[in-house]
Every structure is written in C-alpha cells, then in structure tokens.
C-alpha cells in the first residue's frame, strides 16, 4: 500500500457514520509491511481522537515475523491479535509445509513470545480445517487447551482464494465437516464439564443470536448482509471491496463485489452499483428459501458465495454450501438446546454472556 | 428502629399551613432556607434564646419542650413522641396538632407521597387507593421541595399513581430537578399513562434524573391484568415502557413475588431480557403484608422457603445476561448464600423491623429484615439466625 492510498483509506474510514470502528489488518502477512501498519495506526489514532470515535485494532498474522519491538507496538496500541494454529505438529505442518523447517515449531515459539508480551487476553488463534484435520477433532482441540487458549473456532475451509486452487487436495464435503464439528463440539462440552474452560467460537456466535435479543456482530451472518453494510475492505492497490471475499473474487477475475477506489468519497462508494446490488439481495428474510426457513432469525445471506457458485448474488439454497453448513450447525445446536442437559446449557450461557452464573462465580 | 412519620403536639399562635423546615439555631444562621418557612428547634436550648428577637427576624415558629406562655411567635410544644422530629426534617402541622414528617434527614430513604388515586387495584397493594381529589398535594410538594436538604442523594415519589396528576407530575419533577440539582429521583408508576407518547414526551427535561419504577407481574397480559385488577393494563404498561425507553429514560422493572406471579416468574425474567434489555434495573420483591395484601392472603401467600429456588434462578439468569438485578424485602436466611450479593436492605427505616430470632443473627446488619407489618404469620418457616461460624465460609 502506498502512503497516498493509506491516507485516502483513512479518510474513507472516518467518513463512515459508525461511532465505533474496528480496523483489521490482514494480508498476505501484514507484518511484512510493518512500517505501513505503524503509519496507519498513527493516522487512525490521531484522527479518532480528533473526531471522538472509538477504534479497535485487530490483526491476523502468522507472528513469524513478530520481533519484540513489533509485539511491543501491538501491545501499546491495544491490538487484538489472531494467529494461525491448525493443531498439533503433524496437522499444522501438513497444512503449512515450510521447506527445511517446521512451521508448527515456529508458530509455537511465536505464540510463546507473543503471549509473554501481549498477555493471553489479546491473543487468539484460528484453525484452518483441511481434509487432513477432519480425521479427528480431539488432537486439535487438545492442542488449543495445551497452549492455554480459551477459545477455538472450528470453521470450515473458506471456498475462496488459496483454498480453491488447492481444493482437490484440501477440500471436503459439508457433511464431513458437520460430522467433524458435531464430534468436536461434544468433546469441547465434555472438557467444559470437567472444568476446562474452552469456548467454541462458532457455537458461541450462533447461540448469541439464538439466546439473546441482540443482533450478531459476526459479519457472515448478518441480515442485512454484513458485506458493505458492516465491513469494507481497502486493498493495498486502492481498490475498495464489500468484503474479503470480494477481494478474493477479484483475484478470480470477478469484480462484482468491488465498490470502487479509495479516491472516491465514502458516499460515492456506498451508492455504487455494487452496494445497490447488495441492498437488493442482502436481506435473508426476503430471499427465496431463506424467507421460509425456521433459522432465518439467526442466519444471514451469502452473496459472495452465491456469486462464486452461480454467478448471481441470490443463488439457490439447494446447492449453497453456506446454507447446508448453517442448517447443519443449527440442527446440532438446537438438538443440544432441546436435550437441555443442565451442564450443557450452563456452558452455552457462559459462552453467550461471557460470564459464569452467580452461584458458580461466588 | 422503626420511627413513625407522625406524632401530635400542642400549638399556640398562628402557624402557617405550609411545610416547615426544622432547623437548629446554628443552621438557621447559615441562611440556606427562607426564615418564614423555618421552625427553630429550641427543645434543648430555649433559655439561651430571645424569642422576641427570633420573631423580629421573621422566623415562622419555634419548637419547645413546654408551653412558653405568651410567646411572641407561633410555638409547638409537648411533642408526644419527641424523636419523630429532628433538625433538618420538614414537617406539616395540621390545625388539630397532628404532625406529619414529609422529609427526614436521618432516614435511609425519603419518599414524597403524590396522590391517593390510582387506576389499578393490585391484589397486593400495600397502600389502597382512594378516589378523592387530592390535587392540593401538588402545591404542597412544590412548597416542600425547596426545604429538602440540597445534598440529598436520592428521593422517591410514590402514590397512588403519580401520573394521574397529569402535568402536575411534570411540574413537580421539573421543580425537584431545579431545587435539588444533584439528587437522583425515583418515581413508582404503573406506567399505563405513558402509553400516551405525548404525555411521556412532557418529561424530556428530567430524562436522566429520574428512574421510573414500573411493576410488571407476568409475561402474558391475562395474568398481569388479573394481578393489577385492570383489563388492558398490560398492553398499556408495555407501551408506556417503550415510550419512556425511546426517550432515553431510566426504567426499573419491579415484580412482587407471590402465589399469582410465581408460576410464570422465570418466563417473566426471560420476557424482560428479550423484550426490554434496555431497562436499567430489575427488582424481585417480597410481599409487604399491608392494605389489600392482608385481605388477599389466601390468594398470595407463599412461604419464601418455597419460592426461593424460582426467585434465585430468575435473578441469576437475568444477572448472567448482563442485567442489573436486586432482591428486595427478602431476609438473608431465606436465600442461598450465593444469592446474598443480590439482596438489598430495601425497606425504609420507618417501617423496618426484625424478628426476635434476629437478635442472635450475625448478618442482621446487612439483612433487609421485615416490614413492621410482617407479623409471625407472614414470616418464613426458614427464618433462623445465621451463626458466626457459618459466616466465615
Ligand atoms: S439456513 Fe439456509 S435457508 Fe435458512 S436462512 Fe440460512 S441460508 Fe437461508
Ligand atoms: S435471622 Fe433475621 S437478620 Fe438474620 S438473616 Fe434472618 S431475617 Fe435477617
């Protein structure tokens, strides 16, 4: 990203009406452009102070390039840092081969260093679940517990980008993912029952929609659609996309989720044809299939997925991975809610409200 | 403990019929209150003071131990229960010598009684309404407010149903927020009048200063309407809560726990969280056996020992959801220890009492205890003093 693009992106950011902004840096590997991150952070902090807005910084990084200086910077500017951890060494190294080295070892060391500087609260990890990972959830979950993480996100491989190219090697049918998820969730609930506190982030997100009156902040399940209405992506080359998937679609030669460029005003970007298209097709309650679905109050539309699969943003639920996956997840969670085992309900409510019930807290 | 709010006295001279601020001589000299509205308490130092001088200063009246005979200004004396009045208080003296304390400086809570009228007839009303015209109270309250201690933290308004004063209530709260610039106000209302959004809008200037305490007895209309004995009340109250909420008012939901409300209490808790998570406080309250509650005992009575589980579960869920919850009027010995942090000493001291068993209790100092009207037949079978060894847990 050039300095000029950076300045323009910050201008656009603060033209948005939201009083509280979350700025996420992602790549590639964002730490390879650390001076740019420093610049952006400074620009955004100064501007936020001026305009009286609240900003939260987050970053997704392998941490491999995180020196103590970088970690100190992330701590001082209150970053929420998310790194990649796919499981124990055999799984992780299989997913992320490094010629002549173990990426698992490097990640482990990086996590230890990061924890020492950032503390456990600011550090979380994301799993990439490949076909290989699906063999067994337990070792992956155990690895998270062993490294002291309080949360694990068992989400399937994104059907975009890198994943598409290596799809044959890594991808898997949704049913296989769901079977894996169900088994993994059961295992996590068992752990919680035995006193090990670990949250499954996907369940926590969906349950927050189901068990509270508040709308989700999770961009993939918002209705009206999160893309564009809740998130914007400023690319290093100055393009503006409605979501990360929009950027990946672009790499696949499809510009349907591109809003324009940072040189245009926020107003112009938000009234682009792309945003009109998203507004017209981004309400799950009005989409064929979704409008009659029992789960629609907790679900959201998936225009990016529909575009990539069928070329149009409405798509067809019958062959939507997003739909199959979420119907499956809702079935699993509602089965637990219907079964209503007290210790499971207690774990769920603890995840949802991020606090333990009083009788246990005392 | 429970010091009543009224007593009698003898009076001479022409007393003003307005509320009077009782002051010591020293505080009178600080000049915070208009002299023609002050009653100087000379019960301990009458011989040091020249009454003629006080009269010429324009002091309204003096409070003495005995009949001064030919006093140069109106005097009260021979107060039957002398402890009822103290410097700082505001009182009203009727022609027949009856004294009512309208504000008590030393009280743990002060409430202004706004009207005896009400548009509901709750089964457990502790203050049965009367259909009389008592709009004269508005004037009296407006006279009272400037005499209340300006550093008062908290002032309640009760009834009856205060909103039946119409714009009178508006007038009262506006005056209160001017006269008492740092006080927080609490108004007990059934909220029904606020179904009229124009009426709710009249209170815009006191938003943020007032908490509206609104009772809600069930998550379904039929049951709530039955408890308040007023068809349609549920819908009106819910509309009222939303109208107030939309205007940014602070709202507290109150539910009295008894045999009618208990069966749906957990559902009510969920209803509140699902539909009005913006309310700032939820209070689950033990019964005050006064007024209608006494006559309706058969409809209402549940031993707290038998409602504990449901009450605690409801409170715990609300609290875990991030809501502010309190248990009012519930003795600690009738609750599980983990729920004690939710219990409040909620009973105004003038009607607060403890049972004989409480003498030996280690936590009496932090326990709500009982209403004065809570005789043995209204106390839990679980009432038993907490011993020191148990507290150390
Ligand atoms: S589960 Fe499927 S049909 Fe139901 S709302 Fe979600 S995407 Fe639509
Ligand atoms: S014995 Fe009395 S003071 Fe002690 S907890 Fe019970 S009611 Fe409260």
- Looking at the CA of A328, name the nearest ligand: 1
Q: Token pair for residue A356?
A: 């333990």
| Co-location of B263 and B339 in the same domain | yes
Atom of ligand 2 nearest to the CA of B385: 1
Express as a percent the part of chain A with pLDDT over 70: 97
How does residue A219 score in pLDDT terms, banded at 50, 70 and 90? confident
* pLDDT value, residue A171: 79
Distance B385 CA to ligand 2 centre (A): 5
Number of domains chain B is built from: 2
Residues A40, A6 contacting (CB under 8 angstroms): yes
A contacts of B319 (beta carbons < 8 Å): 358
Count CB atoms within 10 A of the CB of residue B69: 7
Rounded to the nearest 5°, which phi and psi values hold at B233?
-65, -40
* Burial letters B79-93, b for 16+ CB under 10 A, else e: beeeebbbbbbbbbb
Residue A337 has pLDDT above 60, yes or no: yes
Query: What's the domain range around A46?
Result: 3-172
**B268 part of a folded domain:** yes
Task: Supply the residue whose CA is at minimum distance from atom 2 of ligand 2.
Answer: B358
Average pLDDT rounded to a whole number, residues B316-328: 96
DSSP secondary structure letters along A261-300: ETTS-HHHHHTSHHHHHHHHH--GGGSTTGGG-TTGGG--
The answer to whether residue A362 scores a pLDDT higher than 70 is: no
% of chain B at pLDDT higher than 70: 98
Instruction: For residue A12, give the nearest of A191, A184, A276, A267 by alpha carbon.
Output: A267
Instruction: Please give the average per-residue pLDDT across B153-163, as a whole number.
Output: 96
Cα-to-centroid distance, B315 and ligand 2 (Å): 20
Instruction: Compute the average pLDDT of residues A80-106.
Output: 91
Residue with the bigger pLDDT between B263 and A164: it is: B263
pLDDT band at A90 (very low <50, low <70, confident <90, very high): very high
The answer to whether A252 and A164 have CB atoms below 8 angstroms apart is: yes
Q: How many CB atoms lie within 10 A of CB A242?
A: 30
Whether residue B372 lies inside any domain: the answer is no
Q: How many CA atoms lie within 13 A of A317 on its CB side?
A: 16
Residue identified by tokens 């919850």 is: B325
Residue B178 lies in a domain: yes
pLDDT-based confidence at B46, cuts 50/70/90?
confident
Chain centre to alpha carbon of residue A235: 17
Helix ranges, chain A (H)? 3-15, 34-51, 68-76, 89-95, 103-118, 137-146, 162-165, 167-170, 174-193, 201-211, 244-251, 266-270, 273-281, 303-310, 321-339, 342-353, 358-361
B218 lies in the same domain as B243: yes
- Same domain, yes or no, for B95 and B147? no
Asked if residue A356 is part of any domain, the answer here is no
- CA B159/CA B192 separation, integer angstroms: 14
Report the first-to-last Cα separation within chain A, whole angstroms. Answer: 51
Is residue A124 predicted with pLDDT exceeding 80? Answer: yes
Helix (H, G, I), strand (E, B) or coil at B353: strand
Query: CB atoms < 10 A from the CB of B231, how many?
Result: 11
| B97 & B222 share domain | no
Please choose, from the candidates B37, B60, B21, B34, the residue with its C-alpha nearest in 3D space to the C-alpha of residue B148: B21
Residue A160 has pLDDT above 70, yes or no: no
Q: Which residues of B touch A (CB under 8 A)?
A: 273-275, 277, 312, 315-317, 319-322, 336-339, 341-342
pLDDT in tens, A258-312: 999 999 999 999 999 999 999 999 999 999 999 999 999 999 999 999 998 888 9
Please report which confidence band the pLDDT of residue B311 belongs to, taking 50, 70 and 90 as the band edges.
very high
B84 within a domain of the structure (yes/no): yes
Q: Tell me if B363 is assigned to some domain.
A: no
Adjacent-strand bridge partners of A84: A126
Give the Å distances, CA to CA, from A9 to A40, A47, B119.
9, 12, 59
Q: CA of B89, closest CA in chain A: separation in Å?
A: 41
pLDDT value for B342: 97
Return the structure tokens found at A233: 């992506």
Q: Would A132 be classed as within a structural domain?
A: yes
Same domain membership, residue B189 and residue B75: no
The Cα–Cα gap between B146 and B97 comes to 24
- Pair B79, B121 in one domain: no
Which of A221, A222, A290, A333 has most ligand 1 atoms within 8 Å of its beta carbon, as the pocket-test mutant? A290
In a domain, A197, yes or no: no
| DSSP of B107-176 | -S--EEE--S--S---TT-SS-------THHHHHHHHHGGGS-TT--EEEEESS-GGGGTHHHHHHHHHH
pLDDT value of residue B42: 94
Which ligand is nearest the CA of A324, by number? 1
Residues B191, B251 within the same domain: yes
- What pLDDT digit, counting tens, does each position of B73-115 carry? 999 999 999 999 999 999 999 988 999 999 999 999 999 999 9
Query: Which CATH number does the domain housing residue A30 bear?
Result: 3.20.20.70
The pLDDT value given to residue A167: 64
**Together in a domain, B59 and B185:** no
Boundary residue ending a domain (B102, B125, B156): B102
Q: Residue A127's pLDDT band (boundaries 50, 70, 90)?
A: very high
How many whole angstroms separate alpha carbon A206 and alpha carbon A216?
8
Residues B292/B124, Cβ–Cβ less than 8 Å: yes
For residues B238 and B196, membership in a common domain is answered with yes
- B218-235 pLDDT, tens digit per residue, is 999 999 999 999 999 999
Q: Which of B82, B102, B122 is the last residue of a domain?
A: B102
Q: Which atom of ligand 2 lies nearest, measured to the CA of B362? A: 4
CA distance B250 to chain A (A): 19
CB atoms < 10 A from the CB of B65, how many? 13
**Nearest Cα residue in chain B from A357:** B320
Ligand 2 contact via B357 beta carbon (within 6 Å): yes
- Predicted local confidence at residue A357, as pLDDT: 86
Question: If you ran DSSP here, which 8-state letter would residue B42 be given?
Answer: -
Residue B198 belongs to a domain? yes
Question: A206: which DSSP letter?
Answer: H
Q: Do B70 and B141 share a domain, yes or no?
A: no
Q: Is residue A141 part of a domain?
A: yes
| B52, pLDDT greater than 60 | yes
In sequence order, which residues have a C-beta less than 8 Å from that of residue A238 and are 6 or more positions away? A1, A2, A5, A8, A9, A261, A262, A263
Q: Which of B53, B84, B102 is the last residue of a domain?
A: B102
Of A163 and A220, the one with more pLDDT: A220
Residue B239 and residue B338 in one domain: yes
Residue B392 lies in a domain: no
Averaged pLDDT of chain A: 92
Would you state the pLDDT for residue A166?
Answer: 62
Q: What is the mean pLDDT of residues A1-16?
A: 94
The DSSP code sequence of B174-236 is HHHHHHSTT-EEEEE---GGGGSHHHHHTTGGGBTTEEEEEE---SSHHHHHHHHT-TTHHHH
Q: Is the pLDDT of residue B392 over 60?
A: no
Q: Which domain holds residue B187?
A: 111-343
**What are the C-alpha distances in Å from B80 to residues A182, B96, B99, B101, B390?**
77, 13, 10, 14, 43
Number of domains in chain A: 1
Residue A21 near residue A43, CB atoms below 8 Å: no
Contacts of B164 (CB under 8 A, 6+ apart): B115, B117, B118, B119, B193
Name the residue among A194, A199, A275 with its Cα closest to residue A242: A275
Q: Is residue A58 part of a domain?
A: yes
Q: What is the mean pLDDT of residues A82-111?
A: 91
Cis peptide before A224 (omega within 30 of 0): yes
Instruction: Indicate which CATH number applies to the domain containing B176.
Output: 3.20.20.70
CA distance A84 to A127: 6
Pair B20, B90 in one domain: yes
List pLDDT tens digits, range B327-378. 999 999 999 999 999 999 999 988 999 999 999 999 999 999 999 999 999 9
Asked if the structure places residue A134 within a domain, the reply is yes
- Establish if A159 belongs to a structural domain: yes
Q: What whole-number distance in Å separates Cα of residue B28 and Cα of residue B128?
A: 39
Residue B364: CB within 6 Å of ligand 2?
Answer: yes
The tokens for B60 are 């309204």
In this predicted structure, which of A204-208, A352-356, B44-48 has the lowest mean pLDDT? B44-48
Q: Determine contact, residues B253/B283, Cβ cutoff 8 Å.
A: yes
On whether residue A256 sits in a domain, the answer given is: no
Q: What is the mean pLDDT of residues B18-35?
A: 93
CB atoms within 10 A of CB B139: 12
B50: left (phi over 0), alpha (psi -120 to 50) or beta: beta
Pocket test for ligand 2, best of B331, B334, B390 (most atoms within 8 A of CB): B331
Q: Is residue B94 part of a domain?
A: yes
């Amino acid at each position: 990203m050039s300095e000029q693009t950076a300045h323009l992106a910050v201008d656009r950011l603060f033209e948005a009406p939201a009083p509280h902004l979350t700025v996420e840096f992602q790549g590639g590997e964002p730490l390879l452009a650390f001076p740019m991150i420093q610049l952006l952070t400074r620009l955004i902090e100064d501007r936020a102070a001026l305009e009286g807005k609240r900003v939260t910084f987050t970053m997704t990084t392998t941490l491999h390039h995180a020196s103590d200086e970088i970690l100190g910077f992330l701590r001082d500017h209150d970053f929420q840092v998310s790194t990649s951890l796919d499981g124990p060494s055999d799984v992780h190294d299989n997913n992320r081969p490094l010629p002549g080295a173990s990426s698992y070892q490097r990640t482990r060391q990086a996590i230890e260093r990061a924890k020492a500087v950032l503390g456990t609260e600011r550090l979380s990890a994301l799993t990439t679940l490949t076909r290989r990972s699906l063999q067994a959830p337990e070792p992956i979950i155990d690895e998270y517990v062993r490294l002291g993480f309080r949360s694990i996100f068992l989400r399937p491989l994104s059907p975009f980008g890198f994943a598409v190219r290596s799809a044959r090697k890594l991808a898997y049918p949704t049913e296989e993912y769901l079977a894996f998820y169900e088994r993994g969730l059961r295992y996590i609930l068992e752990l919680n029952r035995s006193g090990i506190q670990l949250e499954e982030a996907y369940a926590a997100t969906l349950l927050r929609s189901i068990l509270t009156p508040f709308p989700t902040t999770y961009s993939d399940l918002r209705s009206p659609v999160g893309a564009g209405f809740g998130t914007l992506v400023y690319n290093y080359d100055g393009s503006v996309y409605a979501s990360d998937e929009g950027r990946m679609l672009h790499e696949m030669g499809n510009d349907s989720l591109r809003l324009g460029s940072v040189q245009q005003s926020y107003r112009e970007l938000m009234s682009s044809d792309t945003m009109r298209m998203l507004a017209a097709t981004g309400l799950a309650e009005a989409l064929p299939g979704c409008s009659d679905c029992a789960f629609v109050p907790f679900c959201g539309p998936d225009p990016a997925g529909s575009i990539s699969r069928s070329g149009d943003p409405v798509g067809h639920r019958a062959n939507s991975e997003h739909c199959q996956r979420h119907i499956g997840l809702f079935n699993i969670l509602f089965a637990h809610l219907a079964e209503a085992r007290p210790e499971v309900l207690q774990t769920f409510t603890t995840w949802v409200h991020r606090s333990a019930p009083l009788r246990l807290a005392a | 403990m429970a010091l009543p709010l009224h007593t009698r006295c003898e009076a001479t001279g022409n007393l003003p019929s307005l509320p009077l601020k009782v002051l010591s001589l020293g505080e009178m000299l600080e000049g915070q209150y208009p002299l023609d509205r002050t009653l100087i308490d000379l019960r301990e130092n009458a011989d040091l003071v020249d009454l003629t001088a006080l009269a010429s200063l324009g002091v309204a009246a003096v409070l003495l131990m005995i009949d001064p005979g030919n006093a140069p200004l109106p005097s009260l004396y021979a107060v039957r229960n002398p402890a009822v009045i103290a410097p700082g208080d505001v009182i009203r003296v009727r022609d027949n010598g009856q004294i009512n304390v309208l504000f008590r400086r030393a009280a743990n809570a002060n409430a202004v009684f706004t009207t005896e009228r009400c548009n509901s007839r709750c089964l457990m009303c502790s203050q049965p309404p009367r259909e009389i015209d008592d709009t004269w109270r508005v004037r009296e309250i407006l006279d009272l407010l400037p005499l209340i201690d300006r550093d008062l933290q908290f002032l309640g308004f009760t009834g009856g149903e205060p909103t039946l004063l119409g714009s009178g209530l508006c007038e009262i709260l506006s005056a209160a927020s001017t006269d008492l610039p740092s006080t927080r106000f609490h108004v007990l209302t059934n909220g029904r009048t606020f179904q009229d959004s124009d009426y709710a809008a009249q209170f815009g200037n006191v938003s943020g200063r007032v908490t509206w305490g609104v009772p809600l007895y069930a998550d379904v209309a039929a049951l709530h309407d039955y408890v308040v004995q007023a068809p349609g009340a549920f819908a009106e109250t819910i509309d009222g809560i939303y109208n107030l909420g939309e205007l940014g008012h602070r709202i507290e939901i109150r539910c009295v726990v008894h045999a009618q409300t208990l069966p749906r209490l957990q559902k009510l808790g969920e209803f509140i969280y699902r539909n009005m998570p913006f309310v700032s406080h939820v209070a689950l309250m033990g019964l005050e056996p006064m007024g209608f509650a006494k006559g309706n005992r058969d409809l209402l009575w549940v031993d707290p020992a038998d409602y504990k589980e449901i009450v605690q579960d409801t409170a715990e869920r609300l609290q875990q959801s991030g809501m502010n919850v309190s248990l009012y009027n519930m003795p600690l010995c009738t609750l599980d220890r983990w729920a004690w942090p939710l219990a409040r000493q909620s009973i105004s001291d003038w009607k607060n009492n403890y049972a004989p068993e409480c003498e030996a209790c280690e936590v009496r100092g932090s326990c709500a205890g009982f209403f004065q009207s809570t005789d043995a037949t209204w106390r839990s079978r679980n009432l038993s003093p907490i011993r020191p060894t148990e507290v150390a847990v």
